Structure 1
């Protein structure tokens, strides 16, 4: 995070920042206890987000794992403490959701109407209110405790039927795992190179977003850049899994120098501060212009403020974004939009064979066949290893179809990432299909998942 953003707070400790205190720097400050008395688990942290209603040993027995499974995975995983486990460990289907990471990248498109408002907005500071609310809106999806499938190298996900938005994502690297995505409408262009770095802590894992996000608003003629906060997944093996994302989110207008600095409060004792987001829109002179407050799990509001960050007299808080109603008691905590992302009914004409919807392990899990999902997942991973061997034998390198690696290297607070850009070929591909009457439409369900650049060589 840009260290200078800390200096942008209004002086005097007034306004919304008075509630932040010193908890911002305490990454994951919810009540934590070591499980004592459980032989072999010395130092294991079990964090109860509700804080103190039950002791740690009782909390440790909760969650989706059976006792024997918890014991087994602790024996396997404890040796990785302190390591980056991004692609190091093979995990059981039990903890997965029927969606790939590429699809999860597309979930930010649910509230794309906010970018339409931002692009049409004449006020440059309100433009940042709408854009930052759009970035916040995806956190409801990010807090799900199920793990999405790691994309196979060359896997894609495409969406062409949501509010005039065209979205294409591709897994462009396997080690380290990197996904690239490009979305476009009449109002905006969204580009992301997504890479994460993790640190396994035993019963939790810190997740650092080592990626680059750029958003161009076409009519407004401005380019925005996002630096999101890190996240922490608590109670991976023992206890009920939950996610916290304490820290700063910074959205910078690279064209004008205006920016938004928002603080995601860490979950404190008895759940205090959980989900809360507070901050300001600053002009290029680093003066606060609009305060923002709310919860990423519910809604965000804004109000004009003075140079001390206090609300201007005669103004009121106004809601800028509100979470859409979600299905009740959904097994995977999916929104209606998340279900739409998985649906074959919403797949574009002549869906790419590399599309995540077609993954046999994902589809089997969606249908509730855990055994088949596990075997299909193992089969896909073996085919991926076989293709890698084939490439190395022939001296070839993997080449993405819809993106190309640029010469740019983007530096984040947690590391560097090679930037991938849309190469324009997907737009040509989709335009050729949509404009042609001679291309025979294929039944989506008859398409076999195929992200491979080489034939399946597992039998060799």
Structure 2
């Protein structure tokens, strides 16, 4: 009875437990689970035997909503977390709901008590010691002990008085009657003492835990203080050294008549705005954003080959194109002021003269002009004509729209169910993952900014040509950030022609030349140039992302100059394949080599990093001539723009570090964004929309005539999926027939031969590569398509039976 006087926000250890049925899903329905209601938390297990293990799920009742659905079903909901429960009968449902409501009320009381304490002792007291957070449970337990002590004193005093009264009674009958009252008071005293002993034990245990926490806190504070003292000592030392050095540099400045070169060199090591890769040295990542402002730049090229043990030797890096990075620091005032008074050419001359006059032990900066740098009036300087850098307008007669992408989701369960029992090679991927273009058309789309090659064809200097070639190579990745749907895999023998000579100044022909492994070849001709490539890929699925490694080589030839360039594409990674929003990143190194002169351009596609301060999708690079001299610095992003800055001067600081001075960066390529409504057209560009436009007179194997691709573009996805299965099954039949012929006659040559390309040894790489045979456009003019295989025709009934035969 006395215990009823003690009150507090205590939640019982276990309020209720038992078996209930919990809704799982539509496949499994209600499942029996063992539920435990404890300390304001409702948890469930597979069975009562699993209580010692981790629970399968739990829900907090403090802010939960509890309501009934019918006589035996009720719901417990806390935000997005919902438990649909079913009891055996109405009485069990009522018992559980009553216990849940009581537990929720007690949990809310405890939460309110904690909130009041937090408001009173933490928020309103800014100087509150952190140790009081550990003492609060101890104080609460001490208050409980004080209450129990008062009860024990009270009942003990009553028991003592009863004992004295009992001793004073001489009549045995009255003594026996009085003993009943005495026994009741002794029972009350015993009941009061038992929880007192339990709370004393808990108080001792809690006190020991608090002591351990206080010891850890003190040790942490001691270590933090020691670390802070060490950091302060280091900062003081660095500040002293910096102060002394600034004074020394200031004195040198006064002694040299105001020459600020040494002072600038001192600060050049502090910050770099971006870094560019240089062939033949180890590449390091950048930490600063590149600038898009028109400003003078100074490239701080650090030569680590003389003193860095952490860098590989020349033998180790001979095959590595990217083994050194050179910092580029943007200066907006100094060089601008110098240029306004003397001009950049005069600055270079002055620096070169100072190198000849400086003694060997002097700290003066040595400088030399870069070979090929224009001087004098600058009439031969490289000119960036903004109008010439704009792509030509599209033919207004061509289409500008396609049907919008249907809002049609894929039922993965239905798709997987239909795949049960089938061969993996016979499972056609639905067109829901595709865009209405083939891989042949997607590769042709790389020439959207081919006007850069038109401009390059008018330039005789190889290094200057490389500026536009580099911009063209980067521009092919402009739309990959938003084009998340895969193109159609071409059928063996499928072709695609694109004749845009009238408006864009180029024409191309592409063909799927191999199926296992998949490989396609492309040949394109423009104004003063021709480009051909062979493209394949290998993919690696890493769980969270898909990495696509291109197996390719691209050739670019300028017949008038006799230059021959080659390069390889970089790696593409598609993130969040399973869960989350898809996003694409391009990363790796691209080396563009002029095999005629030996000049090279090295482009670094910097991978995205959550912890980096670089702008996303960043590209940096440098153009080095055959003698190893720097000519250009490239910077930008692969989805937006590319800028180039000429290296005008090469010098060394007093510390021996190379420094390259560049002119103001100039815009070379700027992406042209499609109108907003193209977001609903698979995020295609204007050129991509026109690539699949029907045309007369094309080869019967052209991608425009592929029926499943055309049906998908028209929004008929179900029919497209069916036709796609027919075409792929026909391709399997042809391959099996070829394999059977090879097995029956081993001496016969039954390998597939492309129609418009031939296999020969590449003189650059000494590897077999497919090159254009040269007769496609003549056959088109004569409408002679007798060499083309029939790949889009199929027997609907026969192929349907073949596909269903594996069900």
TM-score scaled by length of structure 1: 0.75
**2:158 corresponds to:** none
Query: Cα gap change, 1:66/1:160 in structure 2, threshold over 3 Å: closer, same or farther?
Result: closer
Unaligned runs of 5+ in 2: 1-276, 284-300, 304-324, 331-406, 651-657, 743-749, 803-807
**2:571 corresponds to:** 230
**1:324 corresponds to:** 672
| Whole-Å separation in 1 of the counterparts to 2:700 and 2:410 | 40
**1:126 corresponds to:** 464
1:410 Cα offset (Å):
8.1
| Whole-Å separation in 2 of the counterparts to 1:294 and 1:4 | 16
| Whole-Å separation in 2 of the counterparts to 1:270 and 1:376 | 47
**1:82 corresponds to:** none
**1:156 corresponds to:** 495
Asked if 2 retains the 8 angstrom alpha-carbon contact of 1:104 and 1:148, the reply is: yes
1:118-197 equivalence runs, <5 A: 118-143=456-481, 144-162=483-501, 163-197=504-538
**1:7 corresponds to:** 281
Secondary structure at the counterpart of residue 190 of structure 1: strand
1:277 Cα offset (Å):
0.6
Asked if 1 retains the 8 angstrom alpha-carbon contact of 2:758 and 2:772, the reply is: yes
Query: Cα gap change, 1:283/1:451 in structure 2, threshold over 3 Å: closer, same or farther?
Result: farther
| Whole-Å separation in 2 of the counterparts to 1:428 and 1:185 | 17
**1:280 corresponds to:** 622
Asked if 1 retains the 8 angstrom alpha-carbon contact of 2:453 and 2:472, the reply is: yes
Q: What do residues 120-179 of structure 1 show as CA deviations (whole Å, max 9, x unaligned)?
A: 013321200101111111102334111001000000000112423120000011110000
1:381 Cα offset (Å):
0.5
Q: What do residues 424-458 of structure 1 show as CA deviations (whole Å, max 9, x unaligned)?
A: 1213213435xxxxx9xx9xxxxxx9643998684
| Whole-Å separation in 2 of the counterparts to 1:65 and 1:410 | 48
Secondary structure at the counterpart of residue 556 of structure 2: strand
| Whole-Å separation in 1 of the counterparts to 2:719 and 2:794 | 23
Query: Cα gap change, 1:130/1:451 in structure 2, threshold over 3 Å: closer, same or farther?
Result: farther
**1:31 corresponds to:** none
Greater shift, 3-12 or 231-240, is seen at: 3-12
> RMSD of the alignment, in Å?
3.3
Q: Which of residues 114, 123, 136 is equivalent to 2:452? A: 114
Greater shift, 326-335 or 268-277, is seen at: 268-277
Secondary structure at the counterpart of residue 169 of structure 1: strand
Q: What do residues 100-130 of structure 1 show as CA deviations (whole Å, max 9, x unaligned)?
A: 0000010111111111111101332120010
| Whole-Å separation in 2 of the counterparts to 1:335 and 1:270 | 32
| 2:771 counterpart of 1:421 | yes
1:408 Cα offset (Å):
4.2
Query: Cα gap change, 1:72/1:200 in structure 2, threshold over 3 Å: closer, same or farther?
Result: farther
Query: Cα gap change, 1:391/1:452 in structure 2, threshold over 3 Å: closer, same or farther?
Result: farther
Q: Which of residues 737, 742, 749 is equivalent to 1:390? A: 737
Query: Cα gap change, 1:370/1:237 in structure 2, threshold over 3 Å: closer, same or farther?
Result: farther
**1:304 corresponds to:** 646
Query: Cα gap change, 1:236/1:269 in structure 2, threshold over 3 Å: closer, same or farther?
Result: same
**2:431 corresponds to:** 93
Q: What do residues 6-46 of structure 1 show as CA deviations (whole Å, max 9, x unaligned)?
A: 5187435653499xxxxxxxxxxxxxxxxxxxxxxxxxxxx
Q: What do residues 231-280 of structure 1 show as CA deviations (whole Å, max 9, x unaligned)?
A: 11111232111111111111111111111111111112178432211111
Give the structure with the larger helix fraction. 2
Asked if 2 retains the 8 angstrom alpha-carbon contact of 1:228 and 1:250, the reply is: no
| 2:604 counterpart of 1:263 | yes
**2:543 corresponds to:** 202
Asked if 2 retains the 8 angstrom alpha-carbon contact of 1:265 and 1:273, the reply is: no
TM-score scaled by length of structure 2: 0.44
Q: What do residues 327-378 of structure 1 show as CA deviations (whole Å, max 9, x unaligned)?
A: 314231111011111112xx3x411110111111111111112211211111
1:206-225 equivalence runs, <5 A: 206-225=547-566
Q: What do residues 395-418 of structure 1 show as CA deviations (whole Å, max 9, x unaligned)?
A: 43221110011134987xxxx974
Asked if 2 retains the 8 angstrom alpha-carbon contact of 1:15 and 1:310, the reply is: no
| Whole-Å separation in 2 of the counterparts to 1:187 and 1:178 | 27
Q: Which of residues 718, 726, 742 is equivalent to 1:379? A: 726
Secondary structure at the counterpart of residue 626 of structure 2: coil
| Whole-Å separation in 2 of the counterparts to 1:71 and 1:269 | 37
Asked if 2 retains the 8 angstrom alpha-carbon contact of 1:212 and 1:410, the reply is: no
Unaligned runs of 5+ in 1: 19-63, 77-84, 434-438, 443-448
1:71 Cα offset (Å):
12
1:52-67 equivalence runs, <5 A: none
**1:69 corresponds to:** 412
Q: Which of residues 698, 702, 713 is equivalent to 1:351? A: 698
**Pair member with larger Rg:** 2
Secondary structure at the counterpart of residue 246 of structure 1: strand
**2:687 corresponds to:** 337
Query: Cα gap change, 1:140/1:269 in structure 2, threshold over 3 Å: closer, same or farther?
Result: same
1:208 Cα offset (Å):
0.9
**2:716 corresponds to:** 369
| Whole-Å separation in 2 of the counterparts to 1:151 and 1:455 | 16
Q: Number of paired residues?
A: 380
| Whole-Å separation in 2 of the counterparts to 1:88 and 1:224 | 41
| Whole-Å separation in 2 of the counterparts to 1:88 and 1:202 | 24
**1:403 corresponds to:** 757
